Structure 1
Amino acid sequence: MKSIFTLLSLLVLINYESLSAQQITAPGGAKFLVEAGGEFGGEEILTVYFEEGGDQKMRAGQGGYAAVGGEFHFKDLKSFMLRGTVGFKYVTTAADNANIRLTRFPINLLGYYKINEDFRLGAGLTTHQLIRFKGDGFVPDADLSSGLGGRLEFGWRWVALTYTAINYKNEFDYSFSAHSIGVAFSFTFPQN
């Protein structure tokens, strides 16, 4: 996993360095991509009950994330583009006396059809790596895994609605849903 992350990071940096030296004037080329968002859904993995009353459910698909990657345009296929990202996704509970959390590293590769300059539809593959649940002494820690999943996006300029379909497995090979819907905000550099 470290070698994949290192390779993707290197490719992004190499592409960004070559782009910063020259402006893209013709269709085709690559841009540096920064993305952040929030996702909700998936099976419940834990319910935290608070001393003052109330509770909070932690779900496998929920969390906020930040990602970096690249956006690749094709010179001869102006209506299509590719985006690849590596990110960090995190969710925690609101408990004051515990730091119960779920972390993972989503890797996404999506192809897009550009409806026009503002709207796009995307579909592709995702995998989540190094999935860690930390119970902070209240519940047992767990390392989880995922296979390949699917991801869909409908975007307008810098904002997109997302749907991710992926399952996690625990050490006992029990599979559960980490499917989620969300909102993503993305920016590319250079702008033109």
Structure 2
Amino acid sequence: MKKSLLALAILAAASSAHAQVAPVAAAPAKSVHGFVGLGITGGGKKLATADYTDGRSANIKSGGGVYFTGGVDFRINEQFSAQTSVNFHVDDQTASNGSLKFQRFPIEALAFYHIDQNWKIGTGLRYVTGAKLSGSGAADINDVKFDNTLSNVVEAEYLFSPQLSVKMRYVNEKFEVKNGRGAEVKANHVGISGNFYF
């Protein structure tokens, strides 16, 4: 009987010691990473048309073009993260005798919900400054400048790995011509980009 009680006491003590040294699941580490990316967009209204000598023409659109992005990604916890970025967005048609260009400099702040390890969805704000339509050479026009504007962004991102991802986005945007007495140009657009995190 004493041996049985002693065995039970030893077993209980061992179980208690094991429970004390058992590893505790670590909470997701907060992390900060930089990123760069390149994307293409389509949409918006026609701002100007570039006519080429071979008979071709190409439109400059308020929501079209390519964009370059760079910023910082903040992982808050397992479910949530946030991003801030500075971007250069441009639609450019260039020929040997002239060019047309619509450029702008968006600053973005987005918050994301992580559905799983690969997918996340987010929304946020996009502040655009320096929006300007300009031409040179045979396409020379008087520059058209636009007021700074604030827009809504919705994104979905798929991560192939912690470093590489693809993003799909929709931007609800419009521009007002500077000193244009309220003249507005819709610039709603969709886009897709590739991002590299480091």
Query: Could you state the TM-score of these two structures normalised by the residue count of structure 2?
Result: 0.77
Q: What letter matches 1:161 in structure 2?
A: M
What 5-or-longer segments of structure 2 have no aligned partner? 1-26, 160-164
For the 8 Å contact 1:64–1:89, the answer to whether it is kept is: yes
Counterpart-to-counterpart distance in 1, 2:144 and 2:177? 7
2:149 aligned to which of 139, 147, 157: 147
- For 2:168, the equivalent position in structure 1 comes to 161
- For 1:110, the equivalent position in structure 2 comes to 110
For the 8 Å contact 1:146–1:166, the answer to whether it is kept is: no
Identical counterparts, % of pairs:
23
Secondary structure class of the residue paired with 1:124: strand
Deviations 1:103-157 (A, max 9, x none): 1111111111111111111111001111121122622112112321011111111
Where do residues 69-88 of structure 1 align in structure 2 (5 Å cutoff)?
69-74=71-76, 77-88=77-88
Q: State the shift of 1:67 in Å.
A: 1.4
When structure 1 is superposed on structure 2, of 49-58 and 117-126 the one drifting more is 49-58
- For 1:101, the equivalent position in structure 2 comes to 101
1:49 aligned to which of 44, 51, 72: 51
For the 8 Å contact 1:147–1:167, the answer to whether it is kept is: yes
Where do residues 1-192 of structure 1 align in structure 2 (5 Å cutoff)?
26-74=28-76, 77-136=77-136, 138-157=140-159, 158-171=165-178, 172=180, 173-189=182-198
Max Rg structure: 2
Q: What letter matches 1:160 in structure 2?
A: K
For the 8 Å contact 2:28–2:78, the answer to whether it is kept is: no
Q: What letter matches 1:70 in structure 2?
A: V
Counterpart-to-counterpart distance in 2, 1:39 and 1:51? 27
Task: List structure 1 runs of 4+ shifted beyond 6 angstroms.
Answer: none
Q: State the shift of 1:176 in Å.
A: 0.9
* Distance of aligned partners of 1:146 and 1:179 in 2 relative to their CA distance in 1, 3 Å threshold: farther
For the 8 Å contact 2:130–2:148, the answer to whether it is kept is: no
Q: State the shift of 1:79 in Å.
A: 0.7
What 5-or-longer segments of structure 1 have no aligned partner? 1-24
- For 1:12, the equivalent position in structure 2 comes to none
For the 8 Å contact 2:110–2:123, the answer to whether it is kept is: yes
Q: What letter matches 2:153 in structure 1?
A: R
For the 8 Å contact 2:60–2:100, the answer to whether it is kept is: no
